[in-house]
A and B are shown apart, each in its own frame.
Chain A
Amino acid sequence: MNLEWVHPTGLWALVLPIVLALLSLRRGKPSSLHLGTVRLWRDLTGESEGARVRRHLPLARVLLIGALVAGGLALGGPRLKTPSIQKTWHVVLDTRPTMFLEHTTEEGVPSGQGTRLAVGLRALEQLLQEQNTRPALRWSRRISGLTRLDRIASERVPAAFLVPGPSGHARSSWLALDEPHTLWVSDSMPPGSLPEHAGVVLSGGGPVPGPVASVGDRLLSMRAGEWVEEAGMPMRFVFLDEGLPTRLASFAKVWAGERGLEISDSDSGDESLALRLVAARAGSGSLPVEVFGRDGWQASAPLVEVGEESDSAPRPRPWLSAEVAGDVWPLVSWRPGWVRVAFGEPFEDRSGDPGAFAVSWADLLDRALLSAPGVLPQGEREPAGPATTRAPRSRSFNPEAAPGAWPLVRWLSAIAGVLLFASALALKST
């Protein structure tokens, strides 16, 4: 049996039963006594000359020694040794923009340790060095509330992971990644219950000062615990594609004006572009006209069928769909900084409630609007709490047999108890 001892010093307790056994054997050796009446005893027992000398230990003492041995072994903390083959840890790296903020103390003062990500990666390296055998690593990342299971094999964090994901996404539970040999690297514990199998490396950190919102050329920042409004932000633009239905383009212009954004008719692709509102191009042939809507508005328009989305860019999320001949056609899809519309003119509003249409579309455009450079939501600049490091459970770890079940130590303790009880009974009976 491949055993290892958690508390090898506890094995010193085995000295006690060994000493007791030796003493008992010494005492248990029949006393050799000279006797003038041996003949009478021989007549009695019928044993012949040279009867075998026997050593006898009382049953109670044998049981007691057994109990002490079991107890001593239990004190040593035996457990089945995991094979010493190299383990592979699956490291899931949080790439929220907050991970790329400077690590600060509780007072919000820079700690001088670099970003939260750097602090987390250093803690990870230390954890790796503490292992008997340095595990191999495979890297995946959390982006915008989703997990990209890249599983890139690398000793160090892949360079591609050192890019902050889009901000503004509420954190969600990581429990889907709660597996043995899995390690979560973030700044604070994700929402939800604590992982049972996965380990965590949390950089922690205090509040991070900086801009949390922008309107036009003005910035709203949190500095030293106070709100500060600053001017001088470069103007940002919204690109409106030509093929957009007129009614939608008109609304987008009003919405951009309200947000302090300018309208651009060219897709420059630079940082000044806060949102691109594009229209899907229709192929040849007639387009099916369908009625569609959401959030209390309804309209009809000819629909454009779009093909499969490429995997290179972040996959767009559907916002509005319609069923055409049994198939679901995405009519409006979006991702941060980008909205695509797959219907055209003539666009007819059938709900008769322009307010519902405006509220619904303003919500979509707000969600898709990119933050100004350096601007992060207040939630991402909040304190991350204390740093925490915990190694993941090994794959041999059996949750059914862990705390509530019977590992070796418990078996030995139980055996010790039973033997002790039996010893007491044997002693009483004698």
Chain B
Amino acid sequence: MPDHPNSGSQRKGAAARPAGELPCPTVVLGSEYLKRLERLSLRFAAGLERREGAGRAGLLGSGEEFVNSRPYRPGEDLRQLDWDLLARLDRPYIRVSRREAAESWSLWIDTSASMGVGPPGKLQMAAEVAGGIAAAGMQVGARIELVAGTRRFQARKLSDIGQLVEFLQNLCAEGAEGLATAVEESRPPSQVGRLFLIGDLLDLEHKQALRWRRPGRELFWVQILAPLELLPEGGGRSHVEGSTSQVGEWVEWVDPEGGERLSVRLDGSNLAAYESNLERQLEAWQSMAARHGVSHGLFSSDSPFESAVRATLEP
């Protein structure tokens, strides 16, 4: 039974910034998105069949390799009891296979105010990507948990997709508490085999991003930045409210979370230095991910969510 989208407790923290001031604080997922989502999940289902038929491990992990144990719940298959632990601890434990662990996916979505930057909005892209990953997971029978700020949603059956989309649509970029706060204050269930951190990761230290890493769990960093932050194509033509600002113009940057305002001139040297700074940051994320076996993908919020989902699940 999925949680109500509005369930969860209100966190304490920094004063929330009015969402109305942000360019793209909300999420809109229309019927077109549902169609695209359906096509994407069918694609993963077909891929799954091909891989299982060929005897290869795909999204579901590597089969009957036991990677963990958990307390026994009445009604469970007694063949999976961990007899060694029962004998040692005198309490029943169930052996958790790699396959079973992998079938529990947890998706953590950053809903801090910085995700309202755009257009297109980063939260919009994060929601679309989360929906895509969740749909793909449900297609292969994984148990899905979505966590966005104080809200949680759980689904397993494909019939839950409508409620999942509704949950995503109710997300709103606000406040200063993002994934960093979540990592510090929460802890995903131990049986989660795949854990996705979806956001701009700008408030997250590498150490925090690795805190939920554990044996038998795959970690995914889905990093989403707005075109305005990436300064694509030519460096000097940053996106400004749907138009472009000219090289040499002054821009007042506003930190959506702290409210800090910074006037800068978009001249060639400033833009080049910024790009260099950003590149160093992103390279650090990539090298950190490679070193610790984390899947890391960087996506612009104006790219199709399907490509981000495929790049994440089919590296």
Contacts and interface: CB of A to CB of B under 8 A. Distances in A.
Interface string B262-293: 11100000100110011001000000000000
A40 B278 contact: yes
Contacts of B21: 34
B235 to A, nearest CB: 14
Contacts of A44: 264, 270, 273-274, 277
Given A34-B22, A44-B264, 10 more contacts: A32-B254, A33-B240, A33-B253, A37-B229, A37-B274, A38-B253, A40-B274, A44-B277, A45-B262, A56-B250
Given A44-B274, A50-B260, A51-B263, A33 B251 contact: yes
Contact of B116 (A34, A37, A53, A430): A34
Counting chain A CB atoms within 10 Å of each CB, the highest count among B249, B256, B262, B277 belongs to B262
B144 interface: no
The 9 A-B residue pairs whose C-beta atoms are closest, nearest first, are A36-B114, A30-B250, A38-B255, A30-B252, A35-B253, A34-B256, A40-B277, A49-B260, A32-B252
Interface string A1-37: 0000000000000000000000000001011111111
A428 interface: no
B240 A32 contact: no
Nearest to A28: B250
B232 interface: no
Contacts of B241: 31, 33
Interface residues of B, number: 39
A36 B262 contact: no
Given A40-B277, A41-B274, A35 B254 contact: yes
Interface string A60-83: 000000000000000000000000
B17 to A, nearest CB: 9
Contact of B202 (A30, A36, A43, A49): A36
A42 B202 CA distance: 14
B263 A33 contact: no
Interface in B192-235: 200, 202, 225-226, 228-229
Chain B: interface secondary structure?
mixed
Contacts of A58: 248
B262 A41 contact: yes
B188 interface: no
Interface residues of A, number: 28
Contacts of B249: 30-31, 56
Given A33-B240, A44-B270, A44-B277, A38 B251 contact: no
B20 to A, nearest CB: 12
Given A40-B278, A44-B277, A51-B262, A31 B251 contact: yes
A150 interface: no
Nearest to B277: A40
Interface in B99-156: 113-117, 122
Contacts of A33: 23, 228, 240-241, 251-254
Given A33-B241, A36-B117, A53 B252 contact: yes
Given A31-B252, A32-B254, A53-B252, A40 B281 contact: yes
B263 A34 contact: no
Contacts of B278: 37, 40
A49 B257 CA distance: 13
Nearest to B238: A33
Given A51-B261, A430-B248, A36 B270 contact: no
Contacts of A52: 263
A36 B263 contact: no
Contacts of B226: 35-36
A271 interface: no
A39 B264 CA distance: 12
A31 B262 contact: no
Contacts of B23: 33-34
A39 B202 contact: yes
A54 B228 contact: no
B34 to A, nearest CB: 28
Nearest to B23: A34
Contacts of B273: 44
B50 to A, nearest CB: 39
A50 B117 CA distance: 20
A54 B250 contact: yes
Contacts of A35: 117, 226, 228-229, 253-256
Contacts of A32: 252, 254, 261
Contacts of A41: 253, 262, 264, 274
Given A32-B254, A36-B200, A36-B225, A47 B116 contact: no
A51 B265 CA distance: 13
Nearest to A44: B273
